[in-house]
Structure 1
Amino acid sequence: MSSMVRALYGGSFDPPHFGHQMAILYLLEGGYADEVRVIPCFDHPFGKELSPFPLRLSYCEALVRPFGGRAVVDPIEETLARPSYSYRTAESLAARFPEDQLRWIIGSDAAQAADQWAESDRLQRVAPFLVLARKGAPPDKNQAPLVLPEVASRDLRQRLAQGENLKGWIPESVLTRLNN
């Protein structure tokens, strides 16, 4: 079997939105990855309160459905030591896929704070960063030539709590689960 480029796309995905889906499409169709592994965080290292893990997994399954097997949801962080550190996730996946090249997908906002991550250098040795820019963020040396729309899950959660309709911001397959 030939070597693959696997993009490791970690995040809270609470909820996933069209920006996440656009990133997956861009990575696959832009030739940056043969496969995108969507990896919901199990236990946020900065103590961020998250919706239940099984619920976020189901959101992510709905998110990747249009991509067939080219994008998959990986619940790996549920099985790893807590809190969920990205370097542990990357090292575990490197052991699972020793012949493949791994890239850690990170938004430009998170890239600016990556020096605060546990073992950031260790993570980047195993899975070098591929930075996806957000509008208004300063450029990064590892940045892909794409700027994603300005949308954040935390803002969408607030809007949902205020009773706003999020159609157009969240894929219908995810929105159906959110509203149940």
Structure 2
Amino acid sequence: MRIAIFGGSFDPIHIGHKAIVKIALNELDIDKLIVVPTYLNPFKRSFYLKPQTRLKLLKKVFNDFEKVDVSNYEVNKEALSYSFDTVNYLKKLYSATKIYFILGEDNLRDLDKWYKIEELKTLVEFVIVTRNGFKSKKTEKFKILDINIDISSSLLRENMNIDYIPVEIKNDILNIRKGKSF
């Protein structure tokens, strides 16, 4: 089975994330795309939305995508997770013969700091998602998904613009912002 792994904080999920999944499904030769929300990104100290909330929101957004699974692997660990461990877990779970690892261009600058990065490079083919404001010569070595939607989760946390939230979860995000549980 040929899979793509799209991991991230998704804190909060936005239309750029959904666009990445759609383009990956069209441009990569894969049988399945696995979206993997982190419990806590190794480069961060906290989260905006609770991990279980992000997991539920992702499942709601990608519910109707036939070739997409949302994995609870990292969230259920309730601890810091490393991509190396997640890739090995998903490789075994899906009996994967080919693994693409989708990564935002802004994450390239810290790629050499990732846990067991040299071993990870032997397991996956990195696919870089281009993003406005993060041009890097490092992308020349990788397969590219050209999205260039000018939004990020960190920008949304600072200034929530509901226009950038997928339609499937707009009401949920509005309710969360009003203090109602999801």
Normalised TM-score (structure 2): 0.85
Instruction: Give how far 1:100 is off.
Output: 2.9
Could you list the runs of 5+ residues in structure 1 that have no partner in the other structure? none
Matched-pair contact (CA < 8 Å) for 1:34–1:70: yes
Picking from 34, 38, 55, the partner of 1:37 is 34
Instruction: Give how far 1:112 is off.
Output: 2.1
Residues 104 and 59 (structure 1), Cα distance of their counterparts in 2 relative to 1, 3 Å cut: same
Indicate the RMSD between aligned Cα atoms, in angstroms. 1.8
Asked whether 1:135 is paired with 2:113, we answer: no
Instruction: Give how far 1:113 is off.
Output: 1.3
Q: How many equivalent residue pairs?
A: 171
Residues 128 and 31 (structure 1), Cα distance of their counterparts in 2 relative to 1, 3 Å cut: closer
- Secondary structure in structure 1 of the residue aligned to 2:62: helix
Picking from 61, 67, 84, the partner of 2:59 is 61
Normalised TM-score (structure 1): 0.86
Residues 158 and 81 (structure 1), Cα distance of their counterparts in 2 relative to 1, 3 Å cut: closer
- Secondary structure in structure 2 of the residue aligned to 1:173: helix
Instruction: Give how far 1:64 is off.
Output: 1.0
Residues 155 and 119 (structure 1), Cα distance of their counterparts in 2 relative to 1, 3 Å cut: same
Q: Which amino acid in 2 is paired with 1:154?
A: S
Residues 1-180 of structure 1 mapped to structure 2, 5 A cutoff: 4-50=1-47, 51-67=49-65, 69-80=66-77, 82-136=79-133, 137-139=135-137, 140=139, 141-160=141-160, 165-167=161-163, 169-180=164-175
Matched-pair contact (CA < 8 Å) for 1:36–1:70: yes
Matched-pair contact (CA < 8 Å) for 2:60–2:168: yes
- Of all paired residues, the percent bearing the same amino acid is 26
Instruction: Give how far 1:109 is off.
Output: 0.7
Which consecutive aligned stretches of 4+ in structure 1 deviate over 4 angstroms post-superposition? Answer: none
Matched-pair contact (CA < 8 Å) for 1:80–1:89: no
Q: Which amino acid in 1 is paired with 2:34?
A: R
Structure 2 Cα separation of the partners of residues 159 and 81 of structure 1? 28
Matched-pair contact (CA < 8 Å) for 2:3–2:96: no
Could you list the runs of 5+ residues in structure 2 that have no partner in the other structure? 176-182
